[in-house]
C-alpha cells in the first residue's frame, strides 16, 4: 500500500481506458460522464482498494477519508446529504470488475434510507408508498447480501402479505402494507443476525462496500471466472452512484438497449423496457418487458434522446454497445454502458459493417472476432427438412442446435452430464446459482425473460445454445416436468432446441452442417439470405487474416480424403502424417507378423508385404497435396497398440490349453505380448527407438515415400515430401536413421534417375531433444514440436490418463485455468520451445520450424507460436480456419 495511492475516483476523473483500476462499469460511467451524457453523479472505489482488502482483511487506511471527501463533494453537488432526514441523498453500491461477470457479484440499492429518512423520501417524492417500498427493498437486499440472511425469509413474508390481502402482484400493495413489511423485515434481520438493521447511512455504505469486495470470492464468482478464464486476483471496483428511480409511476421506468442487434448485427432498435420498475427487475427477467420500440409511444422525448445517445456511443466506442438506463419522471439517466456481448455470427457481421462505415480498419476488424467464435459458427445446425414435432417457440437467445434429455434443475443437469448424458436445462428463469447446471448442459431453455435475461446473457457468453422466454412452457420444477400446449415433457424425455430460431422440438432433430463449413468446403449454396450475409462476412475476415498472417497453417492428416478437405479449408501442406494410422484395421495382422518375425527371412517377407500398401498411401497423399509440403512421420506407435490385449489373450490361451487344443500361433503371440509388454508404453518402445530395433522397418517406410515421390514426378506431379523422425532424444539416434534413409533415397534416385529432394527432419517432443536442440539441428533440416509428448514429459503427466483422473481437482483449485494439453503451458513447455527455436536456428539459420501437437489449433497457443517465431502450425483439418484466423489476429 503506497502512501500516495489514490483509491477513489469521481466519475469526472476516470475514463474508459482505466478498466484495470475502475472496473468496466466505473470506467465507462466516467467515459459517459465526460461525454456529457446524463449519468447520475457518483464515484468509484478502485480495484486496488479491493485487492488490499482481500489480501489483508482490511480496507486500506486512507480509504475512509478519501470516501468522505468524495461523498462530501457528491452531497454538495446534489444539494442533499446521505440519509438526511428531510431531503435524503440515496446511493447505490455496485460491483464492477474489469471483465463483466453478469449477476455474479453484489449490488445494494437505496443506501441511505432509515426510519427517519424514509419519511423525507416520501415527502421529496410526494409518494409514501414508493418510499416504504424502497426502504423494504433496501432491508431485503442489504439483509441478504451484506448480512447473509436467507433471502427466502423475505420472499416468504412478502408472499404472505400478498396472500393475506388476496392480491398477486407487488404493485397492489399500498404504503401501509409496505410499512408493515418493513417492520417484519427488520424483525427478520434482528432474529437472524442478532443485530438491528443499521440506521447510520454511512455505516450502511461502508458495510455494503465491504460486501461487494467479499463477493469477489463467492463460489459462483470463482466458478464463473474459471469458465471464462478471468484471473482470480484482479478484484472488483465498487461504484457509489446517486440513486435515480424508475419506479416512481408510469412516467418512470427502466430498460436495456443495444445499439444494434446482438444476434444478427443489424442496426435498429433492440432492447426491452419495463415501465414503473427498478433496473434489477429487468436483468433478473422476473417481469415481462415490452420491446424498446414501444417506448416511443410511452415517452417520445426520452425515446428520441436515447436514440441520439446510442448513436453517440456507437460512434465513440466504434462498436456495439449495450446500455442500462432509467427514466425518472420523464428524465432519462444512463446507468451503464459497455461494449456489448454478441453472438459469434454477429461478431463477424459487425466487424465488417464497421469497416464499411469507416469506423474501424481491417486490422481492428480482426481483433473484433475470435477463433472460438469461428469454431462456434462451424457447428452443425438442425436439418430444416427433417420431420419434427415442434412444441413451442421462444426467443433465439444464443445460437446453436442442442439435443438432450430434459432436466429441470441444475443439480440433476450436473449429475447426469457427469455420467455421460447430454441434457437440456429447462427452468422458468435462471439465476447465478444455476451456473454449474448451465455449464453442464448442452443447451438452456427458459419460459420467462428476454434477450437480456440472465440465461440469455450468460449462455451467449459461454457460447451455449439458449432459447429463453418461451412463454407457452409451463415449467413445473417440483414435479420435474413441463407442459407445452397440452404436451407433457417429463424429466429424461429428449428435446431439441434451436438457439438461432427459438424453436423447441420434442425428440431428437437431425443436424446438418453449418453454412460456414459449406463455404469452406467450397459448396456455398444459395440458401437463406441470412446465411449468405454471414458467409460473406466470414469470407472477408478470413481474407484479412490471410493477408497479414506470417504463420503458415498445415494440417494433421493421414489420408487423401482428410488432406483434400484440409486443402479446401486453406491448409498449406501437411505438417503431420501419422503413418501408424495406416497400419490399423486389416493391416494390423501384417504388423503382427512383422513383430513376431524370428528370422530375417520372416521379417523381410512381412516388410515386403507392407511396402506396396505404404507406397500407395503416399502416392494418394502426395497427389492430394500436389505442390505443397507433406511431412510424413515414420512409425511411432506404442507397440501394444498393434498386439492383442495381454489379459484377453492369456485367457484365450489358458482356455485352449485346458481343452488341449491350443494353437501354435496363439502361443507365439502370447510370448511376444509378454516380451513386449510395458508398464509405461507411452515412454517405451516407440518412435525412433522402434526404428532402431526392428531392422528394415524405417527403411521400408523411407523406400515407400521415395518411390511414391518418384512415381508422382513421373506423372508430372509436384510431390514435396519431408521425412520426420519421432521421439528423438539425442542427435545420435537421428544420425543413424538419417544415414540409412539417405542410402535408400540415393538407391531410388539412382534406379529411377529422378532427383527427389526429400527433406529429413525430426520431432522435438522430449525435454532432452529441446535441451540439445543445437546439436540435433546438425542432423535435421526441420523441427516440428510435438507438444503433446512434450507436455506429457515436461509435466510428468501421462497423456492418456490424467485428464480423466485428477485434472478436475487441479482446475477447481486453480492450479491451471485450462488443461496444458489444450493450451500450451507458456512458462514451462513454452520456454523449452523458445530455447529450442533459438538453439536450432543458431546451428542452422534456415531451419524450418513448426508445431504439430494439438496446440497447433488452439487459439491462445497459436498466438504464442507466432510470437516465438515458428514458420507454421499444423492442426486437424476442422481447426484450420481457426488457426488461419488466429495467426492473422496475432500478426495484425
Tell me which of 454, 640, 863, 866 is the catalytic residue: 454
* In the complex, minimum distance from the CB of residue 829 to ligand PEP, in angstroms, rounded to a whole number: 10
Phi and psi for 153 in degrees, rounded to 5?
-60, -40
Tell me the C-alpha distance between 304 and 298, whole Å: 11
Tell me the C-alpha distance between 321 and 366, whole Å: 18
Q: Which residues contact 533 (CB under 8 A, 6 or more apart)?
A: 349
Given the rule CB under 6 A, which of 485-493, 505-513, 519-527, 781-789 is the region that contacts ligand PEP? 781-789
Given the complex with ligand PEP, which of 443 and 687 has the nearer CB atom? 687
* In the complex, minimum distance from the CB of residue 736 to ligand PEP, in angstroms, rounded to a whole number: 21
Element holding 703 (H helix, E strand): helix 697-714
Give the one entry of ligand PEP, Mg ion, none that residue 787 binds, where binding means its C-beta sits below a cut-off of 5 to 8 angstroms depending on kind: ligand PEP
* In the complex, minimum distance from the CB of residue 218 to ligand PEP, in angstroms, rounded to a whole number: 39
**Cα angle: 419, vertex 453, 450; to 5 degrees:** 115
Given the complex with Mg ion, which of 48 and 789 has the nearer CB atom? 789
* In the complex, minimum distance from the CB of residue 727 to ligand PEP, in angstroms, rounded to a whole number: 8
Given the rule CB under 6 A, which of 292-300, 594-602, 768-776, 787-795 is the region that contacts ligand PEP? 787-795
**Cα angle: 788, vertex 792, 794; to 5 degrees:** 115
* In the complex, minimum distance from the CB of residue 621 to ligand PEP, in angstroms, rounded to a whole number: 17
Nearest partner of 286 among 298, 295, 299, 277, judged by Cα: 277
For residue 144, the 8-state DSSP code is I
Give the one entry of ligand PEP, Mg ion, none that residue 775 binds, where binding means its C-beta sits below a cut-off of 5 to 8 angstroms depending on kind: none
Residue 135, burial from CB neighbour count under 10 angstroms (0-12, 13-18, 19+): buried
The number of residues that bind ligand PEP (CB under 6 A) is 10
Does residue 853 interact with ligand PEP by CB under 6 A? yes
Given the complex with Mg ion, which of 786 and 820 has the nearer CB atom? 786
Sign of CA dihedral 390, 343, 341, 313: negative
Given the rule CB under 6 A, which of 28-36, 53-61, 347-355, 783-791 is the region that contacts ligand PEP? 783-791
Given the complex with Mg ion, which of 214 and 765 has the nearer CB atom? 765
CB atoms within 10 A of CB 683: 15
Given the complex with Mg ion, which of 272 and 789 has the nearer CB atom? 789
Pairing of strands 872-875, 552-556: parallel
Does residue 112 interact with ligand PEP by CB under 6 A? no
Given the complex with Mg ion, which of 390 and 689 has the nearer CB atom? 689
C-beta separation of 27 from 339 below 8 A: no
CB atoms within 10 A of CB 315: 11
Cell of 332: 432519462
CB atoms within 10 A of CB 275: 21
Which one of residues 442, 789, 858, 886 is an interface residue with ligand PEP (CB under 6 A)?
Answer: 789
Nearest partner of 815 among 304, 355, 232, 246, judged by Cα: 232
Tell me the C-alpha distance between 105 and 222, whole Å: 10
* In the complex, minimum distance from the CB of residue 568 to ligand PEP, in angstroms, rounded to a whole number: 23
Given the complex with Mg ion, which of 702 and 851 has the nearer CB atom? 851
Give the one entry of ligand PEP, Mg ion, none that residue 31 binds, where binding means its C-beta sits below a cut-off of 5 to 8 angstroms depending on kind: none
User: Which three-class secondary structure state does DSSP give residue 143?
Assistant: helix
Which one of residues 262, 696, 786, 877 is an interface residue with ligand PEP (CB under 6 A)?
Answer: 786
Given the rule CB under 6 A, which of 73-81, 188-196, 581-589, 784-792 is the region that contacts ligand PEP? 784-792
Binding mask 706-745 for ligand PEP (x = CB under 6 A): ----------------------------------------
Q: Which of residues 817-836 bind ligand PEP (CB under 6 A)?
A: none
Given the complex with ligand PEP, which of 483 and 788 has the nearer CB atom? 788
Residue 36 vs residues 21, 158, 217, 313, 427: alpha-carbon distances, Å: 22, 41, 35, 11, 41
CB atoms within 10 A of CB 272: 24
* In the complex, minimum distance from the CB of residue 857 to ligand PEP, in angstroms, rounded to a whole number: 11
Q: Which of residues 634-663 bind ligand PEP (CB under 6 A)?
A: 636
* In the complex, minimum distance from the CB of residue 888 to Mg ion, in angstroms, rounded to a whole number: 28
The residue to which cell 486490422 is assigned: 363
Residue 330, burial from CB neighbour count under 10 angstroms (0-12, 13-18, 19+): exposed
Give the one entry of Mg ion, ligand PEP, none that residue 442 binds, where binding means its C-beta sits below a cut-off of 5 to 8 angstroms depending on kind: none
Give the one entry of Mg ion, ligand PEP, none that residue 562 binds, where binding means its C-beta sits below a cut-off of 5 to 8 angstroms depending on kind: none
* In the complex, minimum distance from the CB of residue 726 to Mg ion, in angstroms, rounded to a whole number: 6
For the CA atoms of 455, 458, 463, 464, the dihedral, rounded to the nearest 10 degrees, stands at -30
Specify whether 454 is catalytic: yes
Element holding 689 (H helix, E strand): helix 688-693
Given the complex with Mg ion, which of 707 and 789 has the nearer CB atom? 789
Which one of residues 765, 825, 858, 886 is an interface residue with ligand PEP (CB under 6 A)?
Answer: 765
Does residue 576 interact with ligand PEP by CB under 6 A? yes
The residue to which cell 420523464 is assigned: 330
Q: Which residues contact 426 (CB under 8 A, 6 or more apart)?
A: 406, 407, 408, 444, 445, 446, 473, 475, 482, 489, 495
Give the one entry of Mg ion, ligand PEP, none that residue 853 binds, where binding means its C-beta sits below a cut-off of 5 to 8 angstroms depending on kind: ligand PEP
Which one of residues 484, 852, 873, 890 is an interface residue with ligand PEP (CB under 6 A)?
Answer: 852
Given the rule CB under 6 A, which of 19-27, 76-84, 168-176, 786-794 is the region that contacts ligand PEP? 786-794
Given the complex with ligand PEP, which of 84 and 788 has the nearer CB atom? 788
Nearest partner of 766 among 824, 711, 727, 821, judged by Cα: 727
* In the complex, minimum distance from the CB of residue 557 to ligand PEP, in angstroms, rounded to a whole number: 13
Give the one entry of ligand PEP, Mg ion, none that residue 578 binds, where binding means its C-beta sits below a cut-off of 5 to 8 angstroms depending on kind: ligand PEP
Does residue 787 interact with ligand PEP by CB under 6 A? yes
Per-residue H/E/C for 595-618: HHCCCHHHHHHHHHHHHHHHHHHH
Given the complex with ligand PEP, which of 429 and 636 has the nearer CB atom? 636
Given the complex with ligand PEP, which of 352 and 787 has the nearer CB atom? 787
* In the complex, minimum distance from the CB of residue 579 to Mg ion, in angstroms, rounded to a whole number: 13
* In the complex, minimum distance from the CB of residue 875 to ligand PEP, in angstroms, rounded to a whole number: 10
Per-residue H/E/C for 765-782: CCHHHHHCHHHHCCCCCE
Give the one entry of ligand PEP, Mg ion, none that residue 852 binds, where binding means its C-beta sits below a cut-off of 5 to 8 angstroms depending on kind: ligand PEP
Residue 886, burial from CB neighbour count under 10 angstroms (0-12, 13-18, 19+): buried
Does residue 619 interact with ligand PEP by CB under 6 A? no
Q: Which of residues 577-606 bind ligand PEP (CB under 6 A)?
A: 578
Residues of this chain that bind Mg ion (CB under 5 A):
765, 786, 789
Tell me which of 241, 321, 468, 852 is the catalytic residue: 852
Long-range contacts of 844-847 (CB under 8 A, 24+ apart): 844/777, 844/778, 844/780, 844/781, 847/777, 847/780, 847/781, 847/782, 847/783
Tell me the C-alpha distance between 510 and 496, whole Å: 9
Q: Which residues contact 9 (CB under 8 A, 6 or more apart)?
A: 18, 21, 22, 26, 30, 43, 44, 46
Does residue 788 interact with ligand PEP by CB under 6 A? yes
* In the complex, minimum distance from the CB of residue 459 to ligand PEP, in angstroms, rounded to a whole number: 34
Gyration radius of the chain's alpha carbons: 33
Given the complex with ligand PEP, which of 432 and 786 has the nearer CB atom? 786
Does residue 752 interact with ligand PEP by CB under 6 A? no
Pairing of strands 42-45, 236-242: antiparallel
User: Which three-class secondary structure state does DSSP give residue 658?
Assistant: helix
Give the one entry of ligand PEP, Mg ion, none that residue 576 binds, where binding means its C-beta sits below a cut-off of 5 to 8 angstroms depending on kind: ligand PEP
| Interaction site with ligand PEP (CB under 6 A) | 576, 578, 636, 765, 786-789, 852-853
Residues classed as catalytic? 454, 852
Amino acid at each position: 500500500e503506497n502512501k500516495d495511492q489514490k483509491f477513489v475516483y469521481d466519475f469526472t476523473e476516470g475514463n474508459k481506458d482505466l478498466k484495470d483500476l475502475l472496473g468496466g462499469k466505473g470506467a465507462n460511467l466516467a467515459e459517459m460522464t465526460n461525454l456529457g451524457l446524463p449519468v447520475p453523479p457518483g464515484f468509484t472505489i478502485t480495484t486496488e482498494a479491493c485487492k488490499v482488502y482481500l489480501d489483508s482483511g482490511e480496507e486500506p487506511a486512507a480509504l475512509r477519508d478519501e470516501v468522505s471527501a468524495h461523498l462530501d463533494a457528491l452531497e454538495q453537488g446534489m444539494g442533499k446529504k446521505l440519509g438526511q432526514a428531510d431531503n435524503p441523498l440515496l446511493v447505490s453500491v455496485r460491483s464492477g470488475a474489469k471483465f463483466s461477470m453478469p449477476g455474479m457479484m453484489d449490488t445494494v440499492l437505496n443506501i441511505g434510507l432509515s426510519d427517519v429518512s424514509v419519511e423525507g423520501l416520501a415527502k421529496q417524492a410526494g409518494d409514501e408508498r414508493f418510499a416504504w417500498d424502497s426502504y423494504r427493498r433496501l432491508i431485503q437486499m442489504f439483509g441478504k447480501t451484506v448480512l447473509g440472511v436467507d433471502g427466502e425469509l423475505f420472499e416468504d413474508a412478502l408472499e404472505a402479505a400478498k396472500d393475506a390481502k388476496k392480491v398477486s402482484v407487488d404493485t397492489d400493495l399500498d404504503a401501509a402494507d409496505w410499512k408493515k413489511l418493513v417492520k417484519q423485515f427488520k424483525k427478520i434481520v434482528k432474529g437472524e443476525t442478532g443485530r438491528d438493521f443499521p440506521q447510520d447511512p454511512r455505516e450502511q455504505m461502508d458495510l455494503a462496500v465491504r460486501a461487494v469486495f467479499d463477493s469477489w470470492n463467492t463460489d459462483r464468482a470463482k466458478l464463473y471466472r474459471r469458465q471464462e478464464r478471468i484471473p482470480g486476483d484482479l478484484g472488483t471496483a465498487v461504484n457509489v452512484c446517486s440513486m435515480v428511480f424508475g419506479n416512481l409511476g408510469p412516467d418512470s421506468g427502466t430498460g436495456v438497449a443495444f445499439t444494434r442487434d446482438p444476434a444478427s448485427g443489424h442496426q435498429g432498435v433492440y432492447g426491452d423496457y419495463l415501465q414503473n420498475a427498478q433496473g434489477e427487475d429487468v436483468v433478473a427477467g422476473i417481469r415481462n418487458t415490452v420491446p424498446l420500440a414501444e417506448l416511443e409511444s410511452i415517452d417520445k422525448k426520452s425515446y428520441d434522446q436515447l436514440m441520439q445517445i446510442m448513436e453517440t456511443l456507437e460512434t465513440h466506442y466504434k462498436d456495439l454497445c449495450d446500455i442500462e438506463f432509467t427514466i425518472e419522471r420523464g428524465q432519462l439517466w444512463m446507468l451503464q454502458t459497455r461494449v456489448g456481448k454478441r453472438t459469434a455470427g454477429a461478431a463477424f457481421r459487425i466487424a465488417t459493417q464497421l469497416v464499411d462505415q469507416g469506423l474501424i480498419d481491417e486490422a481492428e476488424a480482426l481483433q473484433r472476432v475470435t477463433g472460438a467464435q469461428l469454431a462456434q459458427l462451424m457447428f452443425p445446425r438442425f436439418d430444416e427438412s427433417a420431420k419434427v414435432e415442434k412444441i413451442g417457440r421462444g426467443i433465439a437467445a444464443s445460437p446453436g442446435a442442442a439435443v438432450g434429455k430434459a432436466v429441470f434443475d441444475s443439480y440433476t443437469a450436473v449429475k447426469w452430464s457427469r455420467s455421460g448424458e447430454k441434457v437440456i436445462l429447462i427452468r422458468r428463469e435462471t439465476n447465478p446459482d444455476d451456473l454449474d447446471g448451465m455449464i453442464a448442459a448442452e443447451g438452456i431453455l427458459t419460459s420467462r425473460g428476454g434477450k437480456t435475461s440472465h440465461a440469455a446473457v450468460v449462455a451467449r457468453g459461454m457460447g451455449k445454445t439458449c432459447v429463453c422466454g418461451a412463454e407457452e412452457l409451463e415449467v413445473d420444477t417440483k414435479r420435474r416436468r413441463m407442459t407445452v400446449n397440452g404436451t407433457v415433457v417429463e424429466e429424461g424425455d429428449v428435446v431439441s432446441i434451436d438457439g438461432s430460431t427459438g424453436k423447441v422440438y420434442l425428440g431428437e432433430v437431425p443436424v446438418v452442417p453449418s453454412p460456414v463449413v459449406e463455404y469452406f468446403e467450397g459448396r456455398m449454396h444459395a440458401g437463406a439470405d441470412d446465411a449468405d450475409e454471414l458467409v460473406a462476412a466470414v469470407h472477408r475476415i478470413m481474407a484479412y487474416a490471410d493477408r497479414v498472417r506470417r504463420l503458415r497453417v498445415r494440417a494433421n492428416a493421414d489420408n487423401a480424403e482428410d488432406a483434400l478437405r484440409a486443402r479446401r479449408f486453406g491448409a498449406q501442406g501437411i505438417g503431420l502424417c501419422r503413418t501408424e494410422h495406416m497400419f490399423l484395421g486389416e493391416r494390423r495382422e501384417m504388423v503382427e507378423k512383422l513383430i513376431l518375425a524370428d528370422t530375417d527371412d520372416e521379417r523381410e517377407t512381412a516388410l515386403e508385404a507392407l511396402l506396396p500398401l505404404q507406397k500407395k498411401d503416399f502416392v494418394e497423399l502426395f497427389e492430394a497435396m500436389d505442390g505443397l509440403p507433406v511431412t510424413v512421420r515414420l512409425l511411432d506407435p506404442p507397440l501394444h497398440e498393434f498386439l492383442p490385449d495381454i489379459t484377453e489373450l492369456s485367457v484365450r490361451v489358458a482356455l485352449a490349453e485346458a481343452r488341449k487344443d491350443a494353437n501354435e500361433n496363439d502361443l507365439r503371440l502370447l510370448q511376444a505380448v509378454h516380451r513386449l509388454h510395458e508398464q509405461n508404453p507411452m515412454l517405451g518402445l516407440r518412435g525412433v527407438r522402434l526404428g532402431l530395433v526392428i531392422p528394415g522397418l524405417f527403411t521400408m517406410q523411407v523406400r515407400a515415400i521415395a518411390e511414391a515421390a518418384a512415381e508422382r514426378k513421373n506423372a508430372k506431379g509436384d510431390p514435396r515430401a519431408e521425412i520426420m523422425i519421432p521421439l528423438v532424444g539425442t542427435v545420435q539416434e537421428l544420425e543413424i536413421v538419417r544415414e540409412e534413409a539417405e542410402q535408400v533415397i540415393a538407391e531410388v534416385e539412382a534406379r529411377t534417375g529422378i532427383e527427389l529432394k526429400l527433406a529429413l527432419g525430426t520431432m522435438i517432443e522430449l525435454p532432452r531433444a529441446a535441451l540439445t536442440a543445437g546439436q540435433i539441428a546438425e542432423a535435421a533440416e526441420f523441427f516440428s514440436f510435438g507438444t503433446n509428448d512434450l507436455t506429457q514429459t515436461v509435466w510428468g503427466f501421462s497423456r492418456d490418463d490424467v485428464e480423466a483422473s485428477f485434472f478436475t481437482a487441479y482446475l477447481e483449485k486453480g492450479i491451471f485455468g485450462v488443461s496444458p494439453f489444450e493450451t500450451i503451458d507458456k512458462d514451462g513447455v513454452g520456454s523449452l520451445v523458445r530455447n529450442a527455436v533459438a538453439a536450432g536456428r543458431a546451428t542452422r539459420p534456415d531451419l524450418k520450424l513448426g508445431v504439430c501437437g494439438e496446440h497447433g489449433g488452439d487459439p491462445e497457443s497459436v498466438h504464442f507460436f507466432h510470437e516465438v517465431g515458428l514458420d507454421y502450425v499444423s492442426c486437424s483439418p476442422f481447426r484450420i480456419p481457426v488457426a488461419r484466423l488466429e495467426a492473422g489476429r496475432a500478426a495484425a
